[in-house]
């Protein structure tokens, strides 16, 4: 059975990182962007990381520029923005694609394990769905991730246990993390 530990990703410097090094940790893997309306999610993510990392929790941040060009900077520019504006300390990896033929195999796996089930109800969510559909038409059946700040919760054995769309309340996300710990 495939788990997240079977994947290798690139760090900001372009070096290979075997995700098996996170074996035994509860992980949250998230695709991010610095110019998105959901960028403020960095704040509760960082707070959760600071509060829970000593209990074996890690957040793995993968910037992505596939949604309205909202992460246009270099890996270092993105990292500087996140550390200066939000004080992020959790690991941030090299910018990736999460959709299409160039999609990160990790994100294709995550999305296959926990497919998109909708953004939820309400006007804001309906508007995001319309915007996401327009953006993702070019990826066809390889539109794995619908928008920035999609979060996947991974258990200590490397299995995907939850998917949270960017519209999910961060209080609910934190509750799920605390319960999984």
| Domain CATH number, residue 41 | 3.40.30.10
Residue 30 lies inside a defined structural domain of this protein: no
- Block residue for tokens 């200590």: 156
User: Which candidate in 36, 111, 153, 160 is catalytic?
Assistant: 36
Residue 101 lies inside a defined structural domain of this protein: yes
The fraction of the chain above a pLDDT of 70, given in percent, is 100
Residue 121 lies inside a defined structural domain of this protein: yes
Residue 169 lies inside a defined structural domain of this protein: yes
For residues 140 and 148, what is the distance between their CA atoms, to the nearest angstrom? 18
The answer to whether residue 97 scores a pLDDT higher than 80 is yes
> Is 113 within 8 Å of 81 (Cβ atoms)?
no
Residue 29 lies inside a defined structural domain of this protein: no
Residue 28 lies inside a defined structural domain of this protein: no
Residue 9 lies inside a defined structural domain of this protein: yes
| Average pLDDT for 57-82 | 94
The DSSP 8-state label assigned to residue 47 in this structure reads: H
The answer to whether residue 65 scores a pLDDT higher than 90 is yes
Q: How confident is the model at residue 86 (pLDDT cuts 50, 70, 90)?
A: very high
Least confident of 11-15, 76-80, 122-126, 159-163: 122-126
Residue 83 lies inside a defined structural domain of this protein: yes
82 as an active site residue: the answer is no
The length of the chain, given as a count of residues:
181
The pLDDT assigned to 137 comes to 86
| Average pLDDT for 4-29 | 97
| Average pLDDT for 82-93 | 95
- The number of folded domains in the chain is 1
CA distances from residue 26 to 35, 36, 55, 146, 165 in whole angstroms, order as listed: 28, 26, 9, 24, 18
* Residue range of the domain that includes 110: 4-23+36-68+75-180
The pLDDT assigned to 127 comes to 82
| Average pLDDT for 97-125 | 92
**Between 124 and 147, residue with greater pLDDT:** 147
Closest-CA residue to 9 (of 77, 87, 108, 84): 108
| Average pLDDT for 17-38 | 96
């Amino acid at each position: 059975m495939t788990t997240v530990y079977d994947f290798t990703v690139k760090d900001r410097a372009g070096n290979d990182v075997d995700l098996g090094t996170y074996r035994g940790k509860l992980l949250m893997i998230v695709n991010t962007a610095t110019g998105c309306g959901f960028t403020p999610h960095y704040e509760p993510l960082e707070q959760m990381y600071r509060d829970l990392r000593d209990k074996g929790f890690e957040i793995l941040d993968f910037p992505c520029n596939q949604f309205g060009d909202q992460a246009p900077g270099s890996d270092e520019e993105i990292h500087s923005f996140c550390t200066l504006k939000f004080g992020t300390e959790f690991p941030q990896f090299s910018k990736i694609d999460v959709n299409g033929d160039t999609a990160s195999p990790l994100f294709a796996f995550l999305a296959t394990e926990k497919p998109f089930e909708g953004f939820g109800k309400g006007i804001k969510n309906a508007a995001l769905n319309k915007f996401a559909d327009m953006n993702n038409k070019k990826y066809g059946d390889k539109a794995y991730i619908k928008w920035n700040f999609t979060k996947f919760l991974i258990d200590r054995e490397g299995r995907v246990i939850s998917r949270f769309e960017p519209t999910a309340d961060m209080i609910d996300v934190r509750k799920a993390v605390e319960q999984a710990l």
